[in-house]
């Protein structure tokens, strides 16, 4: 026979401090712009400088880095391709936008309405 057998509890209670509603700190950041929004904004900025401006994805990326240094180059270039329906890779993207015109050899232009 077993004497003085003690079972360990299956769960452990931890002390939790309850913070009143008025003292909670919001950690959520402001809503960020999507990469498509950044591509469009940058293309519009370049097009304002020159009428019918022609630019590459690299030109857009360099301009966008000034305001958004956290951008990933490969992701940004993919979003540029997904913004131009004339690009041969456009069909492979789920998030298809149509605000750029692909001119060939890596050159783009902002679509005019």
Nearest to 41 by CA among 86, 92, 80, 96: 80
Return the percentage of the chain with pLDDT > 90, whole number.
44
SS3 state of residue 81: helix
Return the percentage of the chain with pLDDT > 70, whole number.
71
The tens digit of pLDDT for each residue in 72-97 reads 999 999 999 999 999 888 888 887 78
- pTM to 2 decimals? 0.67
Domains annotated on the chain, with CATH:
35-110 (1.10.10)
The tens digit of pLDDT for each residue in 4-17 reads 666 666 666 667 67
pLDDT at residue 111, as a whole number? 87
**C-alpha span between 47 and 11 (Å, rounded):** 63
């Amino acid at each position: 026979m077993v004497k003085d057998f003690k079972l360990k509890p299956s769960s452990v209670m931890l002390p939790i401090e309850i913070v009143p509603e008025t003292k909670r700190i919001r950690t959520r950041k402001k809503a960020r712009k999507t990469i498509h929004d950044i591509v469009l904004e940058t293309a519009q900025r370049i097009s304002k400088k020159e009428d019918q401006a022609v630019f590459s994805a690299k030109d857009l990326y360099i301009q966008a880095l000034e305001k958004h240094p956290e951008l990933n180059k490969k992701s940004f270039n993919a979003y540029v391709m997904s913004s131009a329906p004339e690009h041969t890779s456009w069909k492979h993207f789920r998030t298809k936008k149509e605000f750029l015109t692909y001119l060939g050899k890596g050159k783009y232009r902002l679509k005019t309405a």
